[in-house]
Amino acid sequence: MQAEPSHHLAQAGPFSEAERVAVYRAIHSRRDVRNEFLPDPIPDALLRRLLEAAHAAPSVGYMQPWNFVLIREEENRRAVHRIFHEANIEAADRLTGEIRLKYMGLKLEGIIKAPLNICITCDRKRGGDFVLGRTHNPAMDLYSAVCAVQNFWLAARAEGVGVGWVSIFDHDRLSRHLGLPDSVEIIAYLCVGYVDQLYVRPELAVKGWRQKLTLDRLIYDERWPEHSHVLDFYREIECRTGS
């Protein structure tokens, strides 16, 4: 097999200590922002950097299935908020009593407060009928688009920009509102804006909705354990109580 030309390769190796600290800081301090957005618009050059970071995400077969719909106009954001609100009421109606009240007390979006909304999509026809690496798992394009979301989110954290992922929608209705083609699927609807404060811990943990699981209970060696139903029970108790 012929060796790869040297001009296609670059030196590998670890980052400097300061660079590593910065990467892990972005990962561990990233938060889902709902109510802390400032009204200041995101400068075009900064937005371009964030989108370039998203566009640098890995994708199966290098198909790059994502698109980015930028939503700035208040009227458009209010229309999206109405779609969210109706879906949120439907979600709340699945609950009763104290848990319903607790759910309704949560702030779950910043659609209107954030100066910029971005809908990240996946074009399921991009790359044609044969996409390398997707032959036995058609959902790999969806997973690839999620990687673009994560890249965007971490780059935003490094830039002092908050991001909130809103998932409570009738997706068909939102797709029609945004004029998406049939082959294009919504992956993430993001609220984006500057923030000057973030929760130290995830907001849902702070407000007692769920607690962080212990990593050691989520790691298995070689294969799935036989008594996984017992482990699942204890993980759920841990997540609910924070014990």
Ordered structural domains, the chain, with CATH: 32-201 (3.40.109.10), 210-243 (no CATH)
Residue 164 above 60 pLDDT? yes
Residue 81: count of CB within 10 angstroms of its CB: 19
- Residue 6's pLDDT is 74
| pLDDT tens column, 27-79 | 999 999 999 999 999 999 999 999 999 999 999 999 999 999 999 999 999 99
Q: What is the chain's mean pLDDT, rounded?
A: 93
CB 117 within 8 A of CB 111: yes
pLDDT band at 234 (very low <50, low <70, confident <90, very high): low
Residue 236 above 90 pLDDT? no
Tell me the CA end-to-end span of the chain in Å, nearest whole number: 55
| Radius of gyration of the chain from its Cα atoms, rounded to whole angstroms | 20
Lowest model confidence (mean pLDDT) among 16-30, 178-192, 220-234: 220-234
- Beta strand 184-194 pairing with 66-71: unpaired
Q: Is pLDDT larger for residue 10 or for residue 178? A: 178
| pLDDT tens column, 105-158 | 999 999 999 999 999 999 999 999 999 999 999 999 999 999 999 999 999 999
State percent of the chain over pLDDT 70. Answer: 92
pLDDT band at 243 (very low <50, low <70, confident <90, very high): low
Q: In what order do the strands lie in the sheet with 66-71?
A: 66-71, 116-123, 184-194, 161-166
- Beta strand 116-123 pairing with 184-194: antiparallel
| pLDDT tens column, 182-194 | 999 999 999 999 9
- Residue 2's pLDDT is 64
Encoded tokens for 220: 């298995």
